[in-house]
Amino acid sequence: MKLSGETKVGLLALIAGVILYVGFNYLKGIDFFDPTTTYYVVYDRVDGLTVSNQVQINGMSVGRVAAVTILQDHGNQLLVALDIQDDIKLGKGTIAQLSDNGLLGGKKIDLLVAFTEPKLNEGDTLLAKRESGMTEMLMEKASPVMQGLDSTLLNINRLVKEYQGMSVEVRKIMTHTADASEQANRILAENRGKITEITANINKLTAQLIESEKSIRLLVGKMNTFADSLNAMQLASTVKNVNRSLESLQKTMQAIEQGQGSLGKLVATDSLHTNLNRTLVSLDSLFIDLKARPKRYVHFSLFGKKDPPTKK
């Protein structure tokens, strides 16, 4: 059988199309020679999940997203069909977690396999779960920063308004400062000669003070020497008077010990002490008799009559 050129070209184009289709789907993750099992999962939102996105277990690709269908009769939920390798067995309670696939923003589905009985069959529905994406986490972190930035901008705006209100007063202060500076410069220029003379006089006065300081130091030294001499003389005189007083006191004590003078006799002899005791005894007897017989010592009469003498 002989084929025409047109038939050969058609067959070649058909074979090339089949190879292109199979290769393209193979690159998308569809393996026509590897049997798969289809499972379903329902999400409220898929955040950009598309057909051929990978299905992984612990980071290993075990399948792909076969289709994404919107369920308008169920609140616009999204039904996702997953083609999983036929040798992967999933137990009841397996979770299909929608998560980010790297920093480029792609999506993938991670299977959290439950090793429980009974095992799921083809067409069963997995549990759905969404992991917070990178964008959501960045928004959560950035929200407090943005709020703080807003409050900072408000404070800056308020400060700018206050500064604008104070700008007139600030300009007046700057104008007055410039005028005062000009006046000070003018006064310095007009009195430059006088200031030079004052400076020269101050220098002369400083030199004179230095010379006077030398003389004052000499005078202070002499005064200190004179004060030291005077203190020494006063101390010597005081010591001499104290010694003289001690000598007199010592002589007085010696005289008392030897019985000289009234105090010495009082200390050395006991006759004075004896006489004093006798005198006290006599006074005591006199007071007793005076208390017992007062009329004997005191005579008193209203008409001048004398009392009869007391019989003995």
User: Between residues 266 and 9, which one has the greater pLDDT?
Assistant: 9
Total-model pTM: 0.40
Q: How confident is the model at residue 39 (pLDDT cuts 50, 70, 90)?
A: very high
Q: Where are the domains of the chain?
A: 35-131, 134-187, 191-278
Q: What does the block give as tokens for 277?
A: 């005791």
- Would you state the pLDDT for residue 312? 46
Q: What is the dihedral of CA 250, 255, 261, 264, to 10 degrees?
A: 100
Q: Do residues 159 and 73 make contact, with C-beta atoms less than 8 angstroms apart?
A: no
User: Between residues 17 and 298, which one has the greater pLDDT?
Assistant: 17
User: What is the rounded CA–CA span in Å between residue 310 and residue 303?
Assistant: 20
Mean pLDDT of 241-246: 81
Q: What does the block give as tokens for 230?
A: 């005077």
Q: For residue 95, what are the β-bridge partners?
A: 112, 127
Mean pLDDT of 162-177: 72
- E strand map for 44-139: 54-57, 60-71, 77-85, 95-101, 106-112, 127-130
Mean pLDDT of 296-306: 55
User: What is the rounded CA–CA span in Å between residue 166 and residue 177?
Assistant: 16
Q: How confident is the model at residue 133 (pLDDT cuts 50, 70, 90)?
A: low
- Would you state the pLDDT for residue 29? 55
